[in-house]
């Protein structure tokens, strides 16, 4: 359980760092950079939320057995790899948006699945709220994509 939340926290931190990196890369593009800034703040807030949950040290809050550490570790590996990869080549704005949308969609699914599996109401609420934010991110990113490039 502790390990699971630690993984979740690191995923959020990696995404905050990815967005931070893109924000710096696209600092000349005011609108895009501002959008990325909001995402940085959100992901950083997610880190804090999970940190808080970890401090509660609740044991046995899983109501089911569907959560496997392997899946969350795979997601963490993906986020870590993304953080390394984004620094290797400068991605086009279009590719940045497509990548971000794909990641947020995946996180949304995982957070929704996690919320179902927890019996502790505060942890359940936290994952529900994380999922809601991911969904909001997808909408924001898609809207912006369509505004600049047309249909995703
Ligand atoms: Fe997040």
Domains of the chain listed by start with CATH number:
2-149 (1.20.1260.10)
Using the mean position of ligand 1's atoms as its centre, give its distance from the Cα of residue 2 in Å.
18
Alpha-carbon gap, residue 90 to 119, rounded angstroms? 43
Residue 30 Cα to ligand 1 midpoint, Å, equals 23
Cα of 145 vs centre of ligand 1, distance in Å, is 20
- Residue positions counted in the chain: 152
User: In angstroms, what is the span from residue 42 Cα to ligand 1's centroid?
Assistant: 7
By 3-state DSSP, what share of the chain in percent is helix, strand and coil, each rounded to 5? 80, 0, 20
Q: What pLDDT does 43 receive?
A: 98
Residue 7: what pLDDT?
92
Span from the CA of 107 to the centroid of ligand 1 (angstroms)? 7
Quick one: pLDDT at residue 67? 63
**Mean pLDDT of residues grouped by 10 in the chain (152 residues)?**
87 98 97 98 97 75 61 92 95 97 94 84 90 97 96 78
Q: What is the pLDDT of residue 55?
A: 84
Asked whether the whole model's pTM tops 0.85, one would answer yes
134 C-alpha to center of ligand 1: Å?
6
In this prediction, residue 66 carries a pLDDT of 58
Cα 129 to middle of ligand 1, angstroms: 10
* C-alpha of residue 64 to centroid of ligand 1, in Å: 23
List Cβ neighbours of 149 (8 Å cut-off, separation of 6 or more).
94, 97
Q: What spacing in Å lies between the alpha carbon of 26 and ligand 1's midpoint?
A: 21
pLDDT of residue 99: 97
Ligand 1 centroid to Cα of residue 46, in Å, is 5
Task: Identify the sign of the CA torsion 44, 6, 108, 112.
Answer: negative
Which letter does DSSP use for residue 62 in this model?
B
């Amino acid at each position: 359980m502790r390990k699971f939340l630690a993984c979740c926290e690191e995923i959020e931190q990696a995404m905050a760092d990815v967005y931070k990196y893109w924000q710096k890369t696209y600092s000349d593009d005011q609108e895009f950079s501002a959008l990325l800034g909001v995402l940085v703040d959100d992901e950083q807030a997610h880190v804090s939320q999970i940190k808080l949950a970890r401090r509660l040290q609740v044991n046995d809050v899983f109501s089911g057995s569907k959560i496997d550490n392997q899946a969350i570790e795979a997601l963490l590996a993906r986020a870590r790899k993304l953080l390394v990869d984004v620094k290797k080549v400068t991605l086009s704005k279009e590719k940045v948006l497509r990548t971000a949308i794909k990641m947020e969609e995946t996180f949304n699914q995982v957070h929704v699945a996690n919320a179902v599996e927890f019996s502790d109401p505060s942890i359940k609420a936290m994952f529900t709220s994380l999922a809601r934010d991911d969904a909001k991110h997808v909408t924001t990113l898609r809207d912006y994509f369509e505004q600049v490039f047309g249909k995703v």
